[in-house]
Amino acid sequence: MSKKTVQIAPPKGRLGVLTPGLGAVATTFISGVEAVRRGLARPIGSLTQMGTIRLGKRTEGRSPAIQEFVPLAGLEDLVFGAWDLFPDNAYQAALKAGVLERSLLDPVKDFLAEIRPMPAVFEQRFVKNLRGKNVKKAKTKMALAEQLMDDIAAFRERHHLDRVVMVWCASTEVFLKPSAVHQSLGAFEKGLQTNSREISPSMIYAYAALKSGVPFANGAPNLTVDIPALETLALERKLPVCGKDFKTGQTLMKTILAPGLKARLLGLRGWFSTNILGNRDGEVLDDPGSFRTKEESKLSALEFILQPDLYPELYRDLYHKVRINYYPPRGDNKEGWDNLDIFGWLGYPMQIKIDFLCRDSILAAPIVLDLVLFLDLAQRTPELGRRGIQEWLSFYFKSPMVARHLYPEHDLFIQLMKLKNTLRYLRGEELITHLGLEYYD
Ligand SMILES: NC(=O)c1ccc[n+]([C@@H]2O[C@H](COP(=O)([O-])OP(=O)(O)OC[C@H]3O[C@@H](n4cnc5c(N)ncnc54)[C@H](O)[C@@H]3O)[C@@H](O)[C@H]2O)c1
Protein backbone atom coordinates (compact mmCIF):
# COMPACT_ATOMS: atom_id res chain seq x y z
CA MET A 1 0.00 0.00 0.00
CA SER A 2 1.51 3.36 -0.99
CA LYS A 3 1.39 6.02 1.69
CA LYS A 4 -0.50 9.25 1.07
CA THR A 5 2.00 11.90 2.12
CA VAL A 6 1.46 15.62 2.18
CA GLN A 7 3.49 17.96 0.00
CA ILE A 8 6.32 19.61 1.94
CA ALA A 9 8.99 21.76 0.29
CA PRO A 10 12.50 20.78 1.38
CA PRO A 11 14.27 23.05 3.92
CA LYS A 12 16.93 24.30 1.54
CA GLY A 13 19.07 27.36 2.23
CA ARG A 14 19.21 29.45 5.39
CA LEU A 15 16.40 30.26 7.79
CA GLY A 16 16.29 33.72 9.39
CA VAL A 17 14.93 33.96 12.95
CA LEU A 18 13.74 37.41 14.04
CA THR A 19 12.73 38.19 17.60
CA PRO A 20 11.17 41.42 18.73
CA GLY A 21 12.87 41.56 22.16
CA LEU A 22 16.46 40.61 22.95
CA GLY A 23 16.01 39.91 26.66
CA ALA A 24 16.30 36.85 28.87
CA VAL A 25 14.36 34.39 26.72
CA ALA A 26 15.76 35.48 23.35
CA THR A 27 19.40 35.55 24.49
CA THR A 28 19.08 32.21 26.30
CA PHE A 29 17.65 30.74 23.12
CA ILE A 30 20.25 32.22 20.76
CA SER A 31 23.26 31.51 23.03
CA GLY A 32 21.98 27.98 23.53
CA VAL A 33 21.63 27.25 19.83
CA GLU A 34 25.15 28.49 19.22
CA ALA A 35 26.52 26.48 22.17
CA VAL A 36 24.81 23.36 20.81
CA ARG A 37 26.16 24.06 17.31
CA ARG A 38 29.66 24.22 18.75
CA GLY A 39 29.19 21.01 20.68
CA LEU A 40 29.39 22.78 24.06
CA ALA A 41 25.97 21.82 25.41
CA ARG A 42 22.89 19.69 24.70
CA PRO A 43 19.45 20.97 23.56
CA ILE A 44 17.57 19.54 26.52
CA GLY A 45 13.84 20.22 26.55
CA SER A 46 13.52 20.48 22.78
CA LEU A 47 11.15 18.06 21.08
CA THR A 48 12.58 18.76 17.64
CA GLN A 49 16.14 18.00 18.78
CA MET A 50 15.64 15.16 21.26
CA GLY A 51 12.11 13.79 20.74
CA THR A 52 11.10 10.58 18.98
CA ILE A 53 7.81 9.53 17.47
CA ARG A 54 6.30 6.08 17.54
CA LEU A 55 5.03 4.82 14.18
CA GLY A 56 2.76 1.87 13.48
CA LYS A 57 2.10 -0.90 15.95
CA ARG A 58 3.95 -1.31 19.25
CA THR A 59 5.33 -4.57 17.91
CA GLU A 60 7.01 -2.86 14.95
CA GLY A 61 9.64 -1.10 17.01
CA ARG A 62 9.67 2.01 14.80
CA SER A 63 10.43 5.19 16.76
CA PRO A 64 12.52 7.54 14.64
CA ALA A 65 13.80 10.87 15.87
CA ILE A 66 11.31 13.62 15.00
CA GLN A 67 14.01 15.54 13.16
CA GLU A 68 14.58 12.54 10.89
CA PHE A 69 10.89 11.88 10.40
CA VAL A 70 9.88 15.34 9.11
CA PRO A 71 12.12 17.64 7.07
CA LEU A 72 13.15 20.35 9.55
CA ALA A 73 15.76 23.04 9.04
CA GLY A 74 19.06 22.17 10.71
CA LEU A 75 20.49 24.25 13.55
CA GLU A 76 23.42 25.18 11.29
CA ASP A 77 20.98 26.92 8.93
CA LEU A 78 19.63 29.39 11.52
CA VAL A 79 20.59 33.08 11.36
CA PHE A 80 19.46 35.44 14.13
CA GLY A 81 18.27 39.05 14.23
CA ALA A 82 16.33 41.08 16.82
CA TRP A 83 14.80 44.42 17.76
CA ASP A 84 15.03 45.95 21.23
CA LEU A 85 14.69 49.39 22.80
CA PHE A 86 17.98 48.81 24.62
CA PRO A 87 21.02 48.92 22.33
CA ASP A 88 22.97 46.11 24.10
CA ASN A 89 24.22 43.39 21.77
CA ALA A 90 23.21 39.80 22.49
CA TYR A 91 26.31 39.15 24.62
CA GLN A 92 25.73 42.22 26.83
CA ALA A 93 22.00 41.52 27.01
CA ALA A 94 22.62 37.89 28.02
CA LEU A 95 25.00 39.00 30.78
CA LYS A 96 22.44 41.48 32.09
CA ALA A 97 19.65 38.90 31.94
CA GLY A 98 21.79 36.76 34.23
CA VAL A 99 20.37 33.42 33.14
CA LEU A 100 23.47 31.82 31.66
CA GLU A 101 26.86 31.94 33.27
CA ARG A 102 29.96 33.53 31.81
CA SER A 103 31.53 30.11 31.46
CA LEU A 104 28.88 29.30 28.86
CA LEU A 105 28.60 32.77 27.30
CA ASP A 106 32.28 33.59 26.87
CA PRO A 107 33.02 30.75 24.43
CA VAL A 108 30.27 32.12 22.13
CA LYS A 109 30.95 35.81 22.83
CA ASP A 110 32.27 36.53 19.30
CA PHE A 111 29.04 35.24 17.82
CA LEU A 112 26.71 36.99 20.28
CA ALA A 113 28.45 40.36 20.10
CA GLU A 114 27.63 40.53 16.37
CA ILE A 115 23.88 40.42 17.05
CA ARG A 116 22.91 44.04 17.61
CA PRO A 117 19.26 44.91 18.05
CA MET A 118 17.55 47.04 15.43
CA PRO A 119 15.60 50.05 16.76
CA ALA A 120 12.29 48.94 18.22
CA VAL A 121 8.73 49.96 17.59
CA PHE A 122 7.83 50.92 21.13
CA GLU A 123 5.14 52.87 22.91
CA GLN A 124 5.52 53.52 26.60
CA ARG A 125 1.79 53.31 27.17
CA PHE A 126 1.88 49.56 26.50
CA VAL A 127 4.87 48.68 28.72
CA LYS A 128 4.91 51.21 31.52
CA ASN A 129 8.05 50.15 33.36
CA LEU A 130 10.55 50.33 30.48
CA ARG A 131 12.42 53.30 29.05
CA GLY A 132 14.94 52.90 26.22
CA LYS A 133 16.41 55.01 23.45
CA ASN A 134 16.83 52.50 20.62
CA VAL A 135 13.37 53.30 19.24
CA LYS A 136 12.01 54.08 15.77
CA LYS A 137 10.30 57.38 15.04
CA ALA A 138 7.58 58.05 12.46
CA LYS A 139 4.41 60.09 12.02
CA THR A 140 2.08 57.10 11.70
CA LYS A 141 1.91 53.50 12.87
CA MET A 142 1.73 52.48 9.21
CA ALA A 143 5.08 54.20 8.63
CA LEU A 144 6.51 52.25 11.59
CA ALA A 145 5.22 49.01 10.05
CA GLU A 146 6.92 49.97 6.79
CA GLN A 147 10.21 50.54 8.61
CA LEU A 148 9.93 47.04 10.08
CA MET A 149 9.25 45.62 6.62
CA ASP A 150 12.40 47.38 5.39
CA ASP A 151 14.35 45.83 8.29
CA ILE A 152 13.05 42.37 7.37
CA ALA A 153 13.94 42.84 3.69
CA ALA A 154 17.45 44.07 4.56
CA PHE A 155 17.98 41.15 6.98
CA ARG A 156 16.88 38.70 4.30
CA GLU A 157 19.20 40.24 1.77
CA ARG A 158 22.25 40.69 4.01
CA HIS A 159 22.28 37.05 5.08
CA HIS A 160 21.07 35.51 1.78
CA LEU A 161 18.11 33.90 3.52
CA ASP A 162 15.71 31.51 1.91
CA ARG A 163 12.99 31.89 4.55
CA VAL A 164 12.33 33.87 7.76
CA VAL A 165 10.16 33.33 10.86
CA MET A 166 9.37 35.76 13.69
CA VAL A 167 8.78 34.92 17.38
CA TRP A 168 7.64 37.62 19.82
CA CYS A 169 10.07 37.50 22.78
CA ALA A 170 9.49 41.07 23.95
CA SER A 171 7.78 42.26 27.13
CA THR A 172 4.15 41.67 27.99
CA GLU A 173 1.98 44.59 26.92
CA VAL A 174 -0.91 45.98 28.97
CA PHE A 175 -4.28 44.29 28.76
CA LEU A 176 -6.25 45.15 25.62
CA LYS A 177 -9.77 44.05 24.75
CA PRO A 178 -10.45 43.33 21.06
CA SER A 179 -12.25 46.34 19.58
CA ALA A 180 -13.62 47.55 16.23
CA VAL A 181 -10.20 48.33 14.77
CA HIS A 182 -9.15 44.69 15.24
CA GLN A 183 -12.16 43.17 13.54
CA SER A 184 -11.17 43.47 9.87
CA LEU A 185 -8.00 43.99 7.91
CA GLY A 186 -9.47 47.16 6.36
CA ALA A 187 -10.24 48.68 9.75
CA PHE A 188 -6.81 47.68 11.05
CA GLU A 189 -4.95 49.27 8.13
CA LYS A 190 -6.99 52.42 8.53
CA GLY A 191 -6.09 52.35 12.22
CA LEU A 192 -2.41 52.14 11.33
CA GLN A 193 -2.78 55.23 9.14
CA THR A 194 -4.68 57.18 11.79
CA ASN A 195 -2.58 56.04 14.78
CA SER A 196 -5.37 54.15 16.53
CA ARG A 197 -4.66 53.87 20.28
CA GLU A 198 -5.93 50.30 20.16
CA ILE A 199 -3.04 49.11 17.99
CA SER A 200 -0.11 47.99 20.10
CA PRO A 201 3.53 47.65 18.99
CA SER A 202 3.30 43.83 18.97
CA MET A 203 0.46 44.09 16.44
CA ILE A 204 2.61 46.32 14.24
CA TYR A 205 5.39 43.70 14.26
CA ALA A 206 2.92 40.91 13.45
CA TYR A 207 1.43 42.96 10.60
CA ALA A 208 4.88 43.74 9.18
CA ALA A 209 5.87 40.06 9.42
CA LEU A 210 2.79 38.78 7.61
CA LYS A 211 3.02 41.51 4.93
CA SER A 212 6.63 40.37 4.38
CA GLY A 213 5.67 36.69 4.00
CA VAL A 214 6.97 35.79 7.47
CA PRO A 215 5.10 33.41 9.85
CA PHE A 216 4.57 34.74 13.39
CA ALA A 217 4.47 33.12 16.84
CA ASN A 218 3.53 35.06 19.96
CA GLY A 219 5.41 34.11 23.13
CA ALA A 220 3.64 36.63 25.38
CA PRO A 221 -0.02 36.84 26.39
CA ASN A 222 -0.71 40.06 24.42
CA LEU A 223 -3.51 39.96 21.84
CA THR A 224 -1.04 40.64 19.01
CA VAL A 225 -1.86 38.25 16.15
CA ASP A 226 -4.96 36.82 17.90
CA ILE A 227 -7.37 39.25 16.24
CA PRO A 228 -9.59 38.75 13.18
CA ALA A 229 -7.73 41.43 11.17
CA LEU A 230 -4.39 39.64 11.37
CA GLU A 231 -5.93 36.18 11.07
CA THR A 232 -7.40 37.35 7.78
CA LEU A 233 -4.01 38.58 6.64
CA ALA A 234 -2.40 35.24 7.62
CA LEU A 235 -5.05 33.34 5.66
CA GLU A 236 -4.70 35.64 2.64
CA ARG A 237 -0.96 35.09 2.62
CA LYS A 238 -1.24 31.39 3.55
CA LEU A 239 1.09 31.96 6.50
CA PRO A 240 1.18 30.02 9.76
CA VAL A 241 0.59 31.88 13.02
CA CYS A 242 0.36 30.69 16.62
CA GLY A 243 0.37 31.88 20.25
CA LYS A 244 -0.03 32.92 22.97
CA ASP A 245 2.35 32.92 25.92
CA PHE A 246 5.05 30.25 26.21
CA LYS A 247 3.92 27.47 28.51
CA THR A 248 6.68 27.32 31.13
CA GLY A 249 7.00 27.24 34.90
CA GLN A 250 3.90 27.14 36.99
CA THR A 251 1.42 26.82 34.13
CA LEU A 252 3.40 23.92 32.71
CA MET A 253 3.05 22.23 36.10
CA LYS A 254 -0.68 23.02 36.17
CA THR A 255 -1.30 21.48 32.78
CA ILE A 256 0.66 18.38 33.81
CA LEU A 257 -1.11 17.95 37.18
CA ALA A 258 -4.68 19.03 36.50
CA PRO A 259 -5.33 16.42 33.76
CA GLY A 260 -4.08 13.74 36.17
CA LEU A 261 -6.38 14.85 39.00
CA LYS A 262 -9.30 15.02 36.61
CA ALA A 263 -8.47 11.61 35.13
CA ARG A 264 -8.89 10.09 38.62
CA LEU A 265 -11.97 12.23 39.37
CA LEU A 266 -10.37 13.92 42.36
CA GLY A 267 -12.06 17.18 43.28
CA LEU A 268 -10.44 20.57 43.73
CA ARG A 269 -11.57 23.26 46.19
CA GLY A 270 -8.71 25.65 45.80
CA TRP A 271 -5.53 26.24 43.85
CA PHE A 272 -3.36 29.09 45.07
CA SER A 273 -0.27 29.95 43.06
CA THR A 274 2.27 32.56 43.93
CA ASN A 275 5.57 33.45 42.28
CA ILE A 276 8.57 35.51 43.25
CA LEU A 277 10.81 36.58 40.40
CA GLY A 278 13.30 39.36 39.87
CA ASN A 279 14.02 39.61 36.16
CA ARG A 280 12.94 42.37 33.78
CA ASP A 281 9.83 40.37 32.94
CA GLY A 282 8.97 40.45 36.65
CA GLU A 283 9.51 44.19 36.72
CA VAL A 284 7.19 44.67 33.73
CA LEU A 285 4.59 42.43 35.36
CA ASP A 286 4.75 44.61 38.48
CA ASP A 287 2.59 47.01 36.48
CA PRO A 288 -1.08 46.05 37.04
CA GLY A 289 -1.93 46.49 33.31
CA SER A 290 0.69 44.01 32.15
CA PHE A 291 -0.14 41.68 35.04
CA ARG A 292 -3.78 41.62 34.03
CA THR A 293 -2.79 40.34 30.57
CA LYS A 294 -0.68 37.62 32.19
CA GLU A 295 -3.30 36.76 34.79
CA GLU A 296 -6.00 36.14 32.17
CA SER A 297 -3.60 33.85 30.38
CA LYS A 298 -2.65 31.92 33.50
CA LEU A 299 -6.17 31.54 34.89
CA SER A 300 -7.87 30.18 31.81
CA ALA A 301 -5.91 26.91 31.55
CA LEU A 302 -7.41 25.22 34.63
CA GLU A 303 -10.95 26.12 33.70
CA PHE A 304 -10.63 24.48 30.30
CA ILE A 305 -8.88 21.37 31.61
CA LEU A 306 -11.25 20.71 34.50
CA GLN A 307 -14.51 21.36 32.60
CA PRO A 308 -16.56 22.38 35.68
CA ASP A 309 -19.75 22.37 33.61
CA LEU A 310 -19.31 18.61 33.03
CA TYR A 311 -18.05 17.93 36.57
CA PRO A 312 -19.87 20.46 38.77
CA GLU A 313 -19.51 18.39 41.97
CA LEU A 314 -15.74 18.29 41.58
CA TYR A 315 -14.75 21.65 40.15
CA ARG A 316 -17.61 24.15 40.27
CA ASP A 317 -16.47 25.73 43.52
CA LEU A 318 -12.76 25.84 42.75
CA TYR A 319 -11.11 29.00 44.08
CA HIS A 320 -8.17 29.75 41.78
CA LYS A 321 -5.77 32.57 42.58
CA VAL A 322 -2.54 33.57 40.84
CA ARG A 323 -0.02 36.08 42.21
CA ILE A 324 3.24 37.36 40.72
CA ASN A 325 5.58 39.27 43.00
CA TYR A 326 8.58 41.22 41.75
CA TYR A 327 11.48 40.35 44.04
CA PRO A 328 14.83 41.48 42.55
CA PRO A 329 17.21 39.29 44.61
CA ARG A 330 16.05 36.19 42.73
CA GLY A 331 16.82 37.45 39.21
CA ASP A 332 15.63 34.97 36.59
CA ASN A 333 15.56 32.14 39.13
CA LYS A 334 11.94 32.23 39.99
CA GLU A 335 10.26 30.37 42.80
CA GLY A 336 6.68 29.24 42.36
CA TRP A 337 4.60 27.93 45.25
CA ASP A 338 1.36 26.11 44.69
CA ASN A 339 -1.09 24.94 47.27
CA LEU A 340 -3.84 22.62 46.07
CA ASP A 341 -6.80 21.77 48.26
CA ILE A 342 -8.16 18.60 46.78
CA PHE A 343 -10.77 16.08 47.95
CA GLY A 344 -11.33 12.39 47.31
CA TRP A 345 -13.57 9.44 48.24
CA LEU A 346 -16.54 10.60 50.36
CA GLY A 347 -15.33 14.16 50.12
CA TYR A 348 -12.27 13.71 52.37
CA PRO A 349 -9.85 16.64 51.99
CA MET A 350 -6.16 16.40 51.12
CA GLN A 351 -3.47 18.91 50.19
CA ILE A 352 -0.66 19.04 47.67
CA LYS A 353 2.20 21.57 47.98
CA ILE A 354 4.58 22.31 45.17
CA ASP A 355 7.69 24.42 45.45
CA PHE A 356 9.18 24.81 42.00
CA LEU A 357 12.64 26.41 41.95
CA CYS A 358 12.37 27.18 38.32
CA ARG A 359 14.48 28.90 35.68
CA ASP A 360 11.95 30.43 33.36
CA SER A 361 14.17 31.17 30.41
CA ILE A 362 15.76 27.71 30.58
CA LEU A 363 12.26 26.31 30.11
CA ALA A 364 11.32 28.86 27.43
CA ALA A 365 14.40 28.62 25.17
CA PRO A 366 13.70 25.12 23.78
CA ILE A 367 10.11 26.19 23.12
CA VAL A 368 11.37 29.08 20.98
CA LEU A 369 13.61 26.70 19.05
CA ASP A 370 10.82 24.19 18.42
CA LEU A 371 8.43 26.93 17.35
CA VAL A 372 10.99 28.31 14.91
CA LEU A 373 11.49 24.90 13.30
CA PHE A 374 7.85 23.85 13.30
CA LEU A 375 6.61 27.22 12.01
CA ASP A 376 9.14 26.89 9.22
CA LEU A 377 7.88 23.37 8.52
CA ALA A 378 4.35 24.76 8.36
CA GLN A 379 5.34 27.52 5.94
CA ARG A 380 6.79 24.90 3.59
CA THR A 381 3.66 22.73 3.91
CA PRO A 382 0.69 24.28 2.08
CA GLU A 383 -1.71 21.87 3.82
CA LEU A 384 -0.78 23.54 7.13
CA GLY A 385 0.20 27.06 6.09
CA ARG A 386 -3.01 27.82 4.19
CA ARG A 387 -4.98 27.31 7.42
CA GLY A 388 -3.38 30.22 9.27
CA ILE A 389 -3.69 29.29 12.97
CA GLN A 390 -1.57 26.24 13.85
CA GLU A 391 -3.53 24.61 16.63
CA TRP A 392 -1.20 21.57 16.64
CA LEU A 393 1.38 23.87 18.27
CA SER A 394 -0.90 24.47 21.33
CA PHE A 395 1.54 22.24 23.23
CA TYR A 396 3.82 25.25 23.62
CA PHE A 397 1.35 27.86 24.84
CA LYS A 398 -0.51 28.95 27.97
CA SER A 399 -3.48 30.29 25.97
CA PRO A 400 -3.43 28.48 22.66
CA MET A 401 -4.88 30.24 19.65
CA VAL A 402 -7.73 28.28 18.07
CA ALA A 403 -10.48 28.85 15.50
CA ARG A 404 -13.11 31.26 16.85
CA HIS A 405 -15.80 28.56 17.26
CA LEU A 406 -13.56 26.22 19.31
CA TYR A 407 -12.47 26.15 22.91
CA PRO A 408 -8.70 25.70 23.36
CA GLU A 409 -7.24 22.36 24.38
CA HIS A 410 -4.99 22.88 27.44
CA ASP A 411 -4.21 19.31 28.52
CA LEU A 412 -0.50 18.86 27.79
CA PHE A 413 -0.91 15.20 26.90
CA ILE A 414 -3.75 15.79 24.43
CA GLN A 415 -1.68 18.64 22.97
CA LEU A 416 1.31 16.34 22.49
CA MET A 417 -0.88 13.69 20.87
CA LYS A 418 -2.29 16.32 18.52
CA LEU A 419 1.20 17.51 17.61
CA LYS A 420 2.54 14.03 16.93
CA ASN A 421 -0.57 12.94 15.03
CA THR A 422 -0.17 16.02 12.84
CA LEU A 423 3.38 14.92 12.02
CA ARG A 424 2.18 11.35 11.33
CA TYR A 425 -0.53 12.73 9.05
CA LEU A 426 2.00 14.78 7.09
CA ARG A 427 4.08 11.68 6.40
CA GLY A 428 1.15 9.38 5.58
CA GLU A 429 1.56 7.27 8.75
CA GLU A 430 -1.39 5.81 10.63
CA LEU A 431 -2.66 8.03 13.46
CA ILE A 432 -2.22 6.45 16.85
CA THR A 433 -5.46 5.91 18.78
CA HIS A 434 -4.08 3.61 21.54
CA LEU A 435 -7.02 1.22 20.96
CA GLY A 436 -4.74 -1.80 20.68
CA LEU A 437 -7.40 -4.58 20.55
CA GLU A 438 -5.60 -6.12 17.58
CA TYR A 439 -2.72 -7.24 19.82
CA TYR A 440 -5.13 -9.77 21.39
CA ASP A 441 -6.59 -11.25 18.19
N1 LIG B 1 10.57 33.26 30.49
C2 LIG B 1 9.48 32.54 30.37
O3 LIG B 1 9.43 31.41 30.78
C4 LIG B 1 8.30 33.10 29.68
C5 LIG B 1 7.17 32.31 29.65
C6 LIG B 1 6.04 32.78 29.00
C7 LIG B 1 6.08 34.02 28.41
N8 LIG B 1 7.18 34.77 28.47
C9 LIG B 1 7.13 36.06 27.86
O10 LIG B 1 8.22 36.21 26.99
C11 LIG B 1 8.55 37.58 26.95
C12 LIG B 1 10.03 37.75 27.15
O13 LIG B 1 10.39 37.34 28.45
P14 LIG B 1 11.84 37.69 29.01
O15 LIG B 1 11.97 36.99 30.29
O16 LIG B 1 12.82 37.50 27.95
O17 LIG B 1 11.67 39.25 29.30
P18 LIG B 1 12.82 40.36 29.25
O19 LIG B 1 12.23 41.53 29.93
O20 LIG B 1 14.12 39.82 29.73
O21 LIG B 1 12.99 40.64 27.71
C22 LIG B 1 12.06 41.33 26.95
C23 LIG B 1 12.80 42.31 26.08
O24 LIG B 1 11.86 42.91 25.19
C25 LIG B 1 12.23 44.27 25.03
N26 LIG B 1 11.06 44.96 24.50
C27 LIG B 1 9.95 45.38 25.14
N28 LIG B 1 9.08 45.94 24.28
C29 LIG B 1 9.65 45.85 23.05
C30 LIG B 1 9.24 46.24 21.76
N31 LIG B 1 8.08 46.83 21.55
N32 LIG B 1 10.08 45.97 20.73
C33 LIG B 1 11.28 45.36 20.91
N34 LIG B 1 11.72 44.99 22.13
C35 LIG B 1 10.90 45.22 23.18
C36 LIG B 1 12.68 44.70 26.39
O37 LIG B 1 13.52 45.81 26.31
C38 LIG B 1 13.44 43.46 26.87
O39 LIG B 1 14.81 43.51 26.55
C40 LIG B 1 7.71 38.30 28.02
O41 LIG B 1 6.59 38.86 27.41
C42 LIG B 1 7.29 37.17 28.88
O43 LIG B 1 6.06 37.43 29.55
C44 LIG B 1 8.30 34.34 29.10
* Closest ligand 1 atom number to CA of residue 170: 24
226 lines ligand 1 (CB under 6 A): no
Quick one: 250-359 is in which CATH superfamily?
Dihydrodipicolinate Reductase; domain 2 (3.30.360.10)
Count the Cβ atoms, other than its own, within 10 Å of residue 68.
10
20 lines ligand 1 (CB under 6 A): yes
* Contact of 167 with 368, CB cutoff 8 Å: yes
Q: What is the pLDDT of residue 75?
A: 98
* Closest ligand 1 atom number to CA of residue 130: 37
- Tell the residue nearest (CA) to atom 29 of ligand 1: 170
- Compute φ and ψ for 109, nearest 5 degrees: -60, -45
**Total length of the chain:** 441
Backbone Cα Rg of the chain: 22
- Within the chain, all domains assigned CATH 3.40.50.720 are found at 14-246+362-426
* Closest ligand 1 atom number to CA of residue 97: 20
97 lines ligand 1 (CB under 6 A): yes
Rounded Cα gap, residues 398 and 247, in angstroms: 5
Work out the average pLDDT over 160-184: 96
Across 141-155, 272-286, 423-437, the highest mean pLDDT is recorded for 141-155
Work out the average pLDDT over 137-146: 98
21 lines ligand 1 (CB under 6 A): yes
Q: What is the pLDDT of residue 277?
A: 84
Segment 355-370, tens digit of pLDDT: 999 898 999 999 999 9
Confidence of residue 2 (pLDDT cuts 50, 70, 90): low
User: Would you state the CATH architecture of domain 14-246+362-426?
Assistant: 3-Layer(aba) Sandwich (3.40)
Greater model confidence, 145 or 327: 145
- Predicted TM-score (pTM) of the model is 0.96
Segment 305-341, tens digit of pLDDT: 999 999 999 999 999 999 888 888 887 788 999 999 9
Count the Cβ atoms, other than its own, within 10 Å of residue 317.
12
- Within the chain, all domains assigned CATH 3.30.360.10 are found at 250-359
Helix (H, G, I), strand (E, B) or coil at 55: strand
Rounded Cα gap, residues 172 and 170, in angstroms: 7
Segment 194-236, tens digit of pLDDT: 999 999 999 999 999 999 999 999 999 999 999 999 999 999 9
User: What single-letter DSSP state applies at residue 65?
Assistant: B
